Chains A and B, each alone.
Chain A
Amino acid sequence: MAPEVLDDIEACFAAGWTDGRPVVPPTRERVERMLGPWAARRDELVAVLAPGQGRATVEKIAANAVMAGCLPEHLPVVLEAVRAIAEPAFCLEDVVTTVHSVSPLLVVTGPLAEKLEMNGGGNALGHGNRANATIGRALMLVIQNIGMARPGGLDATTIGHPGKFGFCFTESAESPWQPLHVDRGLAAEDSAVTAYGADGPFCICDFGRPTPEELIESLADSLAMPGSYNAFFRDELWIVMSPEHADGVARHGWSKDDVRQAFWERARVPAGRLKRRSLYGFADAVIAPDWYEGAEDGDLIPLCRRPEQVVVLCAGGPYGGYSAGILGMVGSVTRKIEEQAL
């Protein structure tokens, strides 16, 4: 590597533009290459991003995508992801400034995910795939450099979250069910990105040959934790089922709706446990949730208000009785990726 490139990388560190890891320096040439056909729209405002109210133009987003290591064909996904997190339903300001450990998670679905060779197979939620890694990283750089939610500054998280380096994957090609964007009313031939304010993934293993009911009970029992935000706020949560687990319920004729309903019925925490444990202090000193008044100790409090708030996906390698639960904040937003950009 040429010494001047190393100097540029150090200059990016010095300017406070990085996430703590080296970035690709956003030279004019690299940003122009990233913009490609978007160059004519470089000044177009994509979104205003909380908490800093920074104006995210196409060119500013492209500069962050360069730094993240994106390829030009990744840019349409990053642009749409920025629009998704800026929608009021995502509650960006809450997600990126809270003391809680939560980070925007992206799931890209549809033909574009395949075209970009995104990983929905083994290690889908982990490292090793360029599109997964750089699209997720680009969004986080946008949040810190344009939204101004910087660690140690407006990002006030107490513990933090490894997903803040970037958290992005696609669904498995082996999924027995339709992809997430079709669940949300888009056509199968559309491509879309869904953004969710996510806790870290919680791995759940079940190696037996359980019935669908038994498997969903394993997932529900594992996630019904009194210390989670979901136990208190009862917002959306995600279940990422491995192909082995998904096939295990789908071959019995179970749809995603069946999984949602069964999980919702089982993923509950006794009110008494919540009152004495995680909520002790919170409900007394902060503000009580709607279920709190009058709840008997034995009442079972579901992790979500409604079964529809349980989002079911399929991702991961072909073998292994593992799934992941991803609890989180508020609700996710799905956006169709602009067709003209594909």
Chain B
Amino acid sequence: MTDHLVSPVADSFAPRDLAARPQAITGTVALVDGMLNAKAQWGQGILDAVEAELHARHPGATVERIARPQLGATPAEVWAAAMADRYAALVIAAGD
């Protein structure tokens, strides 16, 4: 029984801000593997599934597979701005 104790556990959590989800996508969608080197063919399966789903849901969209810049070569915010300029959407397959 811990009723007489002050709980040290957070009792509220801040929701993460999610980007608005577009109803329709036109233009080019970039698919990038968050951690994995595209040359190694790891993790490309999940991007294959995303690509298929995109074609089904947004027939007007084209898809392009891109690679992340090498570690340290481009600051993250610079890369993010370049992606925003160039593509209608960016899908990153997260990994660890």
Cβ proximity bits B27-66 to A, threshold 8 Å, 1 near / 0 not: 0000000011101101000000000000000000000000
Q: Which residues of B contact A27 (CB under 8 A)?
A: 4-6
Interface centre among B2, B4, B71 (most CB of A within 10 A): B71
Contact B16 A288, beta carbon cutoff 8 Å: no
CA–CA, A148 and B12, complex, Å: 12
Q: Which residues of A contact B39 (CB under 8 A)?
A: 284
Q: Which residues of A contact B10 (CB under 8 A)?
A: 49, 52, 54-56, 60, 145-148
A26 CB contact (under 8 Å) in B8, B36, B70: B8
Any chain A CB within 8 A of the CB of B22? no
Q: Which residues of B contact A147 (CB under 8 A)?
A: 10
CA–CA, A119 and B14, complex, Å: 37
CA–CA, A64 and B10, complex, Å: 11
CA–CA, A60 and B5, complex, Å: 12
Any chain A CB within 8 A of the CB of B85? no
Any chain B CB within 8 A of the CB of A74? no
A289 CB contact (under 8 Å) in B1, B6, B13, B72: B72
Q: Which residues of B contact A341 (CB under 8 A)?
A: none
Any chain B CB within 8 A of the CB of A12? yes
- A35: min CB distance to chain B, Å: 10
Contact A285 B70, beta carbon cutoff 8 Å: no
Contact A141 B2, beta carbon cutoff 8 Å: no
Contact B8 A67, beta carbon cutoff 8 Å: yes
CA–CA, A68 and B68, complex, Å: 42
Q: Which residues of A contact B13 (CB under 8 A)?
A: 52-55
Contact A15 B4, beta carbon cutoff 8 Å: no
Chain B binding site: helix, strand, loop or mixed by DSSP? loop
Question: Known contacts being A64-B8, A146-B10, is A287 close to B71, with CB within 8 Å?
Answer: yes
Any chain B CB within 8 A of the CB of A8? yes
Contact B70 A63, beta carbon cutoff 8 Å: no
A28 CB contact (under 8 Å) in B4, B14, B42, B73: B4
Contact A289 B14, beta carbon cutoff 8 Å: no
Q: Which residue of B lies closest to A32 (CB)?
A: B6
CA–CA, A49 and B73, complex, Å: 29
- B14: min CB distance to chain A, Å: 4
Q: Which residues of B contact A339 (CB under 8 A)?
A: none
- A198: min CB distance to chain B, Å: 20
Interface centre among B2, B4, B9 (most CB of A within 10 A): B9
Contact B16 A63, beta carbon cutoff 8 Å: no
- A158: min CB distance to chain B, Å: 11
Cβ proximity bits A1-33 to B, threshold 8 Å, 1 near / 0 not: 000000010011001010000000111100100
Q: Which residues of B contact A254 (CB under 8 A)?
A: none
- A238: min CB distance to chain B, Å: 20
Contact A17 B9, beta carbon cutoff 8 Å: yes
Interface residues of A in 310-341 (CB under 8 A from B): none
Q: Which residue of B lies closest to A18 (CB)?
A: B8
Q: List 16 A-B contacts (CB under 8 A).
A: A8-B5, A25-B5, A53-B14, A55-B14, A64-B8, A142-B8, A146-B9, A147-B10, A148-B10, A284-B37, A284-B39, A285-B42, A286-B40, A287-B70, A287-B71, A305-B72
Report A's interface with B, CB cutoff 8 A.
8, 11-12, 15, 17, 25-28, 31, 48-49, 52-56, 59-60, 63-64, 66-67, 98-99, 141-142, 145-148, 156, 233-234, 283-293, 305
